[in-house]
Structure 1
């Protein structure tokens, strides 16, 4: 049991020795906290997260639905209507006022629900993309959600991590952190666990790490002293105001379209009001009020004021759908850009391959050993080949070859920071997969972890860096106590430059120029087998007088070369199909890797990324001026042995060639390239916290196929937005044209008020509002749930400059609006006495028929709106939500025609079956005429000599 924890002032922890802080926090540097103790502290102190801004109360969100100017006008109109009813008492109830208020309230409720669902979707995504922390609990390393870190936890830090909480350093191996966001200091800070005396500023507390800062170099261990709002970042967060909500370019464009349409319709409404008042000689307050109500209702019905909310809801639902396909979207703007992606620049390891490195071969001076088995389970047969022979010879492992292989795998095992773990029979690696493969290979060769730990105790480390391409560890040797063993692993070509001798059996021999060439040739041979190669080397230093100041890059000289280790990360089976799908969609896959160019080319050919096997290296890129690199990226799809700065140059060169680039990355230094790319994609499993923060999308499974799936979903989301935009505008323009031409042609179609005096309208204000609610709600949202078209990945990417509403869309919208208005007015004329078609109905009957026909026109238009090219009958039943929405709207229309209280509210009368059949027949004309126009369009654009396909 740890001692009872006493409160430790987090700000003073840097002035206390590590042991004092550990004691005060009741922890253990080796075992950490127990699960029970951590759970108790989490309940007491709360989660390790910044206090969210105070949520907006539900009643305020509901009131916000009534802030629109047109809605306010409707509320004023309802108030005036109620006042007139109280004055005149011409009916049992103020039906018009009740109808207006009911529709306004229902619209507000729909908007409130849409907003709530969008917020829930965003919250769910935030939970899925929560940061992780590595801690020691119950004596074991484990990864937990950063929000579960508590005071007293022992946290492990390495390059690429984001520090999850404030902590006092216990160990540091060349640890550096970037604290620019906290202190304003642009250069990384070196960290050291030594106690500091006296009061110093935050930026000078070298023995502390702070929440939210990034580890840029080295590794370390710390004990958590403060979490949540008690951290330095938390104190700053408490003083910050909430940032404005993110709006995507698509939402901004749709808002602009909405404002433009709103202005246009309001002008039309004003013209109609003025025309009616002047032409019909409107007199009296009630009549004048009816005209004003009509104008406001028409404006509300025609303006898609809820469009941004619908877009947000559809984006949120689509993003959730992408998350189910392992692509977690952090920025909504990425969804729009995905449809335009023309290049996917992907890392190889873990994305195109399985990220389960397996050592296949160890090559030493005396021959080659092959290891069987796959993955991280330490089981596999070991066979050998003597130098210059073919065929397996297991007996050969008893001589120099066995000693050399054991030495090579010992170096590989010890020069790692990964941990091999078993949980319910499943072997996993905590740390780098390459290092994990070395540990597994050592176990297959019979090198037990316990024996190696007992003999070699680590006393120092020279961490790996992408510039040196090497890593070294220093150990005492229980069998040679007078020596310090230096174990180094890294890129073979770099490592050979640091070696002067080679291990053979128990002895060493000088490393000649000819032998160096032989080793490099062997390395190329392994690479041609698609094996990733590492070189391992060692050195013995005298232990006498050795100290911490002797640990540095200078120990990586005069090394003894031990051998080459070849490992393979097998390509994902689904990656080959995903590459082919991307190519069919007009997207060029590009591989950018740190691996050997030959290995990269082999994997690239196997996956279908390239056919010629050409690969450009980072060294070649360094020699290229920008203009030459811009020419190179047009043809080359494999880049090997690259550094992060090369990735940035490649991305910029592709963008200058007008490519829309989706770029993957996982390291700290990948952050600039991820931010520069049009779509930054971070790895969710192997990626660092810094890379995830810089990215637009996080892959939950680090799989290239998930990127292609995300592109498909992105295209589907954008297509769905166009679908309901096409639908809303077609329906609303049809309503506006019906009202405008109905008033303009009133005398021609026989539209007159009862008794022949006053004026009459094709539809009443309440009926227009009802159409707006019934047709613009559920059907529009259901269109946003349309599944991706099978043809979504068979056409080139959408040009970025292409607007959300194209000329072709506007033509279709105008066509549908015209057919809708003409058909509706035809029904109105046929129901009224006089006019072009003689009828015998009353005005109430004619308005009910017109009302019903216009609703049915909108419901048929839903199916037209799914495509400007494909037939409405293509995939007719693929979206059951759409059918449900249409049936709901139809039932509501039946209710408003037959239920007595709704008849009074909306001035409708009951219709006969023949009336419904007539309304259906006329309304269906928009479907058949649009089908005909699509057929003609496909025929005109079909390749010469081919007919338009009959199935679309």
Structure 2
């Protein structure tokens, strides 16, 4: 009820990640004066003014103010841009309260809320599932695993590792397939992603190498200036020891002070700030926001980069790379969800429409120009179809769907039933060994014939070869009679996909090598998959 929700909101707070103390405009401005060399320049300004060097005092003061203004404007604008991006990330959630289904801002969720989960939505909290219909989630943002995770409602033992909690969906992950219901169990900083954010906030921000060196240099400038001034003053006093008057003492002091002011590098802070600001502007052009000026310099001090694999080195977009059809292996070019690509075969050209049609029709995902919803594996099949000019929405007009046997972990396959020329036809996809066992015939070179033991051995051999390259392999089949039963089907072929490396990564890695930077890949993926990606990128 609303009353219970209000009480829990008072107890647990809003469902959002806590931010560190927000920096005010005054604090951003004050931070520009924290450097020791800035304080030395301020002292030089005051001294210059008192000894009558008004022009010098004004010049030094202008340099200090220019330095502060540039730093303030840059950091304030970065803060505003980051805040604007956060506002765009506001999520909605459909829940049941007071016996009614309502949509609320995800920040208003509290533990105990019954939430409805739909394909394509971003999970707004940690949720214990009570209903899961073909439900799969994309958990790359939390675990680094590029393949979707199938969810169930079964009870698990206490202490089950995060990646194996199949009865939970977690904040920040995405529903890639199916639908379900669940009870919110954790919100805000109590979620798994919130715990990670909390650990990050506990880390104190160390000074950058440039800040450390400038502070060290400032101390030495201050110490050296004082020592030299004392030496100059004492030498003047000793030279005129016998004829020393108050006027000569004052002159000696003024000479020492003038020397101190002259020894201070007034333009250094402004030069450093302008250089860093120019660096930030170059980064902005490359679509990288930097909140603090010294962070730019930190990049220049890096000699080891530890990088995530999924979504960083790779696109986090499954892509069909190879097809086995009509006794031929076909290589598929292109990457990610880009629908431009070619089908390359060393033998005579082969019509792939039958196996590509199966991948497009036996599919619940949506691929549009501005919208991609669903399982990454299914999206890769739609992209493969579009590379051959096969669009799902047009193909479904020719093959309208009349039924579906959803995927289950027990059967390891999925079947959709369609109507074509007043006749029913079914298409199935699933684990290659399962599909193969259910087939009694094979479609090859436009004809249907009995499948032989030799055919099966060749298909198994191709499946193993593709799997050794750390690709996910799916088998495809169809049926034209008694289509509701998944038996005595006609084998079509195999499609193998993986999460390919980003096109620009190889060049970036080469730049890192030239700069003497070692790159280390960190992933929770299978060892074979990690090794294959590393080999393709030239890592290790």
* TM-score normalized with structure 1 length: 0.36
CA contact (8 A) 2:232 2:256 kept: no
1:318 to 263, 279, 293: 279
For residues 311 and 24 of structure 2, what CA distance do their matches in structure 1 show?
A: 44
RMSD (Å), alpha carbons: 7.1
Q: What is the correspondence of 1:441-840 to structure 2 with a 5 Å cutoff?
A: 443=390, 448-449=395-396, 454-457=401-404, 459-462=406-409, 472-474=412-414, 487-489=428-430, 495-496=432-433, 499-500=436-437, 502=439, 503-505=441-443, 512-513=453-454, 515-517=456-458, 520=461, 534-537=473-476, 561-565=491-495, 642-644=528-530, 654=540
The structure-2 alpha-carbon separation of the partners of 1:223 and 1:453, relative to structure 1 and needing over 3 Å to count, comes to farther
The structure-2 alpha-carbon separation of the partners of 1:283 and 1:207, relative to structure 1 and needing over 3 Å to count, comes to farther
CA contact (8 A) 1:166 1:227 kept: yes
Q: How many residues align?
A: 475
| Offset of residue 266 of structure 1 | 3.7
- The residue that corresponds to 2:367 in the other structure is 420
For residues 407 and 66 of structure 2, what CA distance do their matches in structure 1 show?
A: 63
Hey, which of these two has a bigger chunk of helix by percent? 1
- The residue that corresponds to 2:257 in the other structure is 293
1:272 to 224, 228, 232: 232
The structure-2 alpha-carbon separation of the partners of 1:164 and 1:476, relative to structure 1 and needing over 3 Å to count, comes to same
For residues 325 and 163 of structure 1, what CA distance do their matches in structure 2 show?
A: 30
CA contact (8 A) 2:362 2:415 kept: no
For residues 523 and 235 of structure 1, what CA distance do their matches in structure 2 show?
A: 40
| Offset of residue 11 of structure 1 | 7.7
- The residue that corresponds to 1:437 in the other structure is 383
The structure-2 alpha-carbon separation of the partners of 1:560 and 1:74, relative to structure 1 and needing over 3 Å to count, comes to same
- The residue that corresponds to 1:769 in the other structure is none
| Offset of residue 355 of structure 1 | 7.4
SS at match of 2:368: strand
1:363 to 313, 322, 325: 325
1:539-577, CA deviations, whole angstroms, 9 ceiling, x for partnerless residues? 99x999xxxxxxxxxx9x99985303478999999899x
Structure 1 segments unaligned to the other structure (5+ residues): 14-44, 82-94, 139-147, 182-188, 196-204, 395-401, 464-470, 480-484, 545-554, 595-617, 623-641, 655-952
1:572-603, CA deviations, whole angstroms, 9 ceiling, x for partnerless residues? 99899x599859958899999x9xxxxxxxxx
For residues 293 and 271 of structure 1, what CA distance do their matches in structure 2 show?
A: 12
CA contact (8 A) 1:420 1:428 kept: yes
| Offset of residue 322 of structure 1 | 2.9
For residues 534 and 218 of structure 1, what CA distance do their matches in structure 2 show?
A: 19
For residues 374 and 87 of structure 2, what CA distance do their matches in structure 1 show?
A: 16
1:72-104, CA deviations, whole angstroms, 9 ceiling, x for partnerless residues? 6447646865xxxxxxxxxxxxx44x5565345
CA contact (8 A) 2:382 2:392 kept: no
For residues 34 and 89 of structure 2, what CA distance do their matches in structure 1 show?
A: 44
For residues 134 and 241 of structure 1, what CA distance do their matches in structure 2 show?
A: 21
Pair 1:56-2:24 in alignment: yes
For residues 437 and 409 of structure 1, what CA distance do their matches in structure 2 show?
A: 10
For residues 489 and 229 of structure 2, what CA distance do their matches in structure 1 show?
A: 87
Which structure carries more relative contact order (alpha carbon 8 Å, separation 6+)?
2
1:99-157, CA deviations, whole angstroms, 9 ceiling, x for partnerless residues? 5653454243123213213414643774698699697899xxxxxxxxx9665897768
Pair 1:123-2:79 in alignment: yes
- The residue that corresponds to 2:97 in the other structure is none
For residues 322 and 463 of structure 2, what CA distance do their matches in structure 1 show?
A: 14
For residues 93 and 330 of structure 2, what CA distance do their matches in structure 1 show?
A: 39
Higher-Rg member (1/2): 1
Pair 1:111-2:67 in alignment: yes
- The residue that corresponds to 1:70 in the other structure is 40
The structure-2 alpha-carbon separation of the partners of 1:564 and 1:217, relative to structure 1 and needing over 3 Å to count, comes to closer
Hey, which of these two has a bigger chunk of strand by percent? 2
- The residue that corresponds to 2:423 in the other structure is none
